[in-house]
Amino acid sequence: MMHLETSIPEDLDRLVADLPDSLLTRVIKDMRDSTSWLEAFARAYAALTGFTHDEALVAMQVDDESAENIGRLAIIEMTKYLIAIGTNPGSGISPSRVVDCAWHAFMLDSVPYARWCDQHFSRYLHHSPFDPREPEQFQTSSSVIEVFGNVGVEMNPVLWDFDEAVKCPETCGDTCGGLKPARQQAEPFTRGMLVDA
């Protein structure tokens, strides 16, 4: 059995520690209840573990340890995302599907979410759904990476499936600048994440 490891900078560790204990359970439930979120988690888990997509999909559905491992990484990445948007109002970056699942699970527990936002950002961090009919909302992966870099947090590119996260128009191809470099960053980042247990 493998488990996934990640290092958390000290300040990020404090923000994660302030999250509700029940969040991981809600993330896993929501992930398993939504086909699109389940697919996103399976893609990420396959990339992290080397499993086939089908193996990762089964693991997300029936193996609690695997689901908990990827769920923890999603929560950490969600926290990084909230730091990025909380300290860069109006940045306009969207979460990946995996991060969005964790964020929804947290937001729906509205009292702890509001308290956490107020404690760490002195304001409520609103969720504004993406509207694909609004082309000005299109973002490149480089803009997401830039916002994360501005706040000094390193994103896990595997949990940011940029084909999903950046809402890139079909006509963009390779011209949007950033999809291929972001995918290439994933390999060295994930190499040290798998540990035989």
Contacts of 152 (CB under 8 A, 6+ apart): none
Give residue-wise pLDDT tens across range 138-178.
555 667 788 888 888 888 888 887 544 333 344 444 433 33
Say how far apart CA 6 and CA 159 lie, in whole Å: 12
Q: Is the pLDDT of residue 126 over 70?
A: yes
Q: Give 162 or 24, the one with higher predicted confidence.
A: 24
